[in-house]
A and B are shown apart, each in its own frame.
Chain A
Amino acid sequence: MVDRIFRALARIGVALILALVFALVFEVGRKALPGMEKHGFDVLFGTVWDVNQGKYGILPAIWGTLYSAFIALVIAGFFGVSMAIFLTQDFLPAKLAAVFRTIVELLAAIPSVVYGLWGIYVVIPAIRPLTAWLNSELGWIPFFGTSLSGPGLLPAALVLAIMILPTVAAVSQDALTSVPMKTKQAAYGLGTTHWEAILKVMVPSAATGIFGSLVLGLGRALGETMALAMLVGNANTITVSLFAPANTLAALLALNFPEAGPNEVEVLMYAALVLMFITLLVNVLGSLLMLYAQRGNK
């Protein structure tokens, strides 16, 4: 009898997780429906967000989400994968490697709002001289087209990169350590140098896992809110300039939700649904890649 009740309870617990995912999509979708019916695709392709005129366009926010996440991924990808190689390929004694590993893991433990605060008062002042120089000397390149007047894409993307670095580094490390020892020994046996073995044998062998780590990092970057709400500048413009203020979907939600009226809430729910769809797509892709990588090693 106790046995049966216990099993039923556990089954309910599991079912609740599934129910939660369905409820998430259903609740947000239901509340977004009126907004979708009223505005249709105008929201997705509109570029103006003006509550007083009833104009709700999230295209700049979608662009900003993808662009900032992409820049962050390039930076975090370089540092994360280098770090993973550095920590797994016999560069350091085990104890020193553990220290570096802890440093990277602790980066993940710091709350994003603290990164936001740090970004405003440390990162922005620190990069301002460099951005001013780039803008004045190389301003003809679209990436450096405007000057950094405070918040903007680059500081936001830099902080974002720091936040996703632990994900990229940890998952890449797993991918690299799961390559069989024999593979590396075979490479040395052929007379490769340490780095030739890493770049031509180890990294390609772990490629699926490393790629998976990048996709998972991208998923995190797309959905990160606080650092962006505090650093990206919240300007509803579509720009390629790294120093211009921009907006992202998550920041749009964070800034407009607290004071939104019923009409605006409908559209914000719509925007939330778009964000959910984008991150879900990226995360499913990442998880499938990881599964594929694990199978490949067996």
Chain B
Amino acid sequence: MTDLSKPATALPSLQRRFEGRALRSIILTTLAWVTALLASVPLISVLWMLITKGGARLNLEVFTELPPTGFEMGGGFGNAMAGTFVMVGIAAAIAVPVGILAAVFLAELGPDSKLANASRFAAKMLTGLPSILAGVFAYALVVMTTGTYSAPAGGVALAVLMLPIVVLTAEEAMKMVPKIMKDAAYGMGCTRAQVIMKIVLPTGMPAILTGVMLAVARAAGETAPLLFTALFSNYWIYHEGSLEVMNPTASLAVLIYNFSGMPFDNQLELAWAASLVLVMIVLLVNIVSRIFGKPKY
């Protein structure tokens, strides 16, 4: 029996004439290699710049000090890291519970109901929502209502972006739980809530957490939704013993944006260092969730 998965050129030919179409195959294969290698250039270039430019400036100071102004030397982005942390925390506190509950409904309670189909479609549309529109929404909803740029406004904007990722990945995670396990639990007299709480959620947890981590990684890197919801601040969010969340709040991403256009070398160096920190956080989360997120069943 001949191996049909091998292309015809691999078969012995009776004529030794060099065919045009064989030549075309060689050219196209070369072209495919060239495009693949070219497509890898940007990632390598970005990482190279981050390591050389950002790494040169990375020291302990940048994590503890406030951003420099004007011609000031030194400084860091400690307040921006704190601000990013607080806002991503707010966003996760909103998006994770809602997202997982919604996913429970989509995967277990009424997967084919009209409500579920409509919501699933809505969630898919939300994944394609330009991130700046999440910012516009939070501006209209929170900033215009409270009259101030604030950390919660930024958190709401990020939550809008996190929610669809959490919902869709958690639904997939729960659907992967083998039906036999659920049937066994029902057979022992469990109610639906018990099956979900004791079987489906714990079994699907690694994959659900992967989704949550990916959503957190995406939110940590977002800039556009924070530009005019959290704005920026040169001060610590934690001030004289109290968390001042209802003030403009700094974030790593907005700091990079602000400093990228400045004519001062010091700020530019800090922008590269902040980019390195941000990318390291995002890549770390991605890698960790890849390793630990693999389902074990």
Give the complex CA separation of A20 and B163 in angstroms.
Answer: 10
Residues of A within 8 A of B98 (CB): 13, 16-17
Contact B123 A223 (CB under 8 A): no
Contact A83 B35 (CB under 8 A): yes
Of B39, B46, B131, B133, the contact of A79 (CB 8 Å cutoff): B39
In the assembled complex, the CB of A140 is this many whole angstroms from the nearest CB of chain B, namely 29
Contact B196 A6 (CB under 8 A): yes
A109 interfacial by beta-carbon distance below 8 Å: yes
Q: Number of contact residues on B: which range applies?
A: 35 or more
Contact A113 B102 (CB under 8 A): no
B224 interfacial by beta-carbon distance below 8 Å: yes
* 0/1 interface trace, chain A 180-191, chain B, CB 8 Å (1 if under): 010011001101
Contact A120 B109 (CB under 8 A): no
Q: Number of contact residues on A: which range applies?
A: 35 or more
Give the complex CA separation of A130 and B99 in angstroms.
Answer: 48
Interface of A is mostly: helix
In the assembled complex, the CB of B297 is this many whole angstroms from the nearest CB of chain A, namely 23
B137 interfacial by beta-carbon distance below 8 Å: yes
Give the complex CA separation of A222 and B4 in angstroms.
Answer: 43
Contact B43 A3 (CB under 8 A): no
Residues of B within 8 A of A20 (CB): 122, 126, 160, 163
Q: Tell me the B67-91 residues at the A interface (CB within 8 Å).
A: none
B236 interfacial by beta-carbon distance below 8 Å: no
Q: Tell me the A115-130 residues at the B interface (CB within 8 Å).
A: 115-118, 120-122
Residues of A within 8 A of B133 (CB): 24, 28, 223, 272, 275-276, 279
Of A7, A110, A193, the contact of B21 (CB 8 Å cutoff): A193
A62 interfacial by beta-carbon distance below 8 Å: no
Chain B residue at minimum C-beta to C-beta distance from A17: B119
Residues of B within 8 A of A104 (CB): 39
Residues of A within 8 A of B132 (CB): 223, 225, 250, 253-254, 272, 275
Residues of B within 8 A of A294 (CB): none
Contact B193 A6 (CB under 8 A): yes
Contact B130 A193 (CB under 8 A): no
Contact B130 A118 (CB under 8 A): no
B interface residue numbers (CB < 8 A to A): 4-9, 21-22, 24-25, 28-29, 31-33, 35-36, 38-40, 42-43, 45-46, 49-50, 97-106, 108-109, 115-116, 118-119, 121-126, 128-133, 135-137, 139-141, 144, 160, 163-164, 167, 191-194, 196-197, 217, 220-224, 227-228, 231, 253, 256-257, 260-261, 271-272, 275, 278-279, 282-283, 286
27 A-B residue pairings within 8 Å (CB atoms): A6-B196, A7-B109, A7-B192, A12-B101, A13-B102, A14-B102, A15-B115, A24-B133, A27-B140, A82-B32, A83-B36, A103-B40, A110-B221, A111-B220, A111-B222, A111-B278, A111-B282, A113-B257, A114-B221, A114-B278, A192-B8, A224-B130, A272-B136, A276-B133, A279-B133, A283-B125, A287-B121
Task: List the 5 closest A-B pairs by CB distance, nearest first.
Answer: A223-B130, A111-B221, A13-B101, A13-B102, A225-B224
